[in-house]
Amino acid sequence: MKLTGLNHITVNVKNLEESKVFYEEIFGLEQCGYIDMGDHTLTYYQLPQGVLLELIDYENKVQAASHRETDTGIYRHLCLEADSLEELNRRCVEKGVPVRSAPAYVEKLGRHNMLLVDPAGVEIEVFLAE
């Protein structure tokens, strides 16, 4: 057995409309699918390289426990690449999106990156595309 690819990344949303606006206005994504599963819906966005972003909106939401970035045994973040971190940072500032770390060069990584937070509280790291 060998892995052949990454199919999708899932985010359980707090507010579907806020999340849709975030992913559309901040990252310029377009919705490419929607499925009503009865007790929850799946909203899809196309990411690069054939990967999908899946937003799950449950009818009966349970408030997530808070966690810190140094907690162990948790899913920490997803990392995307973009051709302009300055443009992404500008969009975040204009839209009031929390930026945890402004665009900067990280010597030990040898990359420019930034960290922001989506409306569901998911941390997203963005590398400057090389």
CB-hemisphere CA count at 13 Å for 66?
Answer: 1
Domain count of the chain?
1
Say what the pTM is.
0.89
Does residue 91 lie within any of the structural domains? Answer: yes
CA 90, 91, 94, 99 torsion-angle sign: negative
* Rounded Cα–Cα distance for residues 83 and 127 (Å): 9
Q: Is residue 69 part of a domain?
A: no
CB atoms within 10 A of CB 68: 6
pLDDT in tens, 61-73: 777 777 777 766 6
pLDDT digits (tens, 9 = 90+) for 18-39: 999 999 999 999 999 999 999 9
Both tokens of 99, joined, read: 């930026």
For 52, the domain range is 8-59+76-128
Q: Which residues contact 97 (CB under 8 A, 6 or more apart)?
A: 22, 26, 91, 116, 117, 118
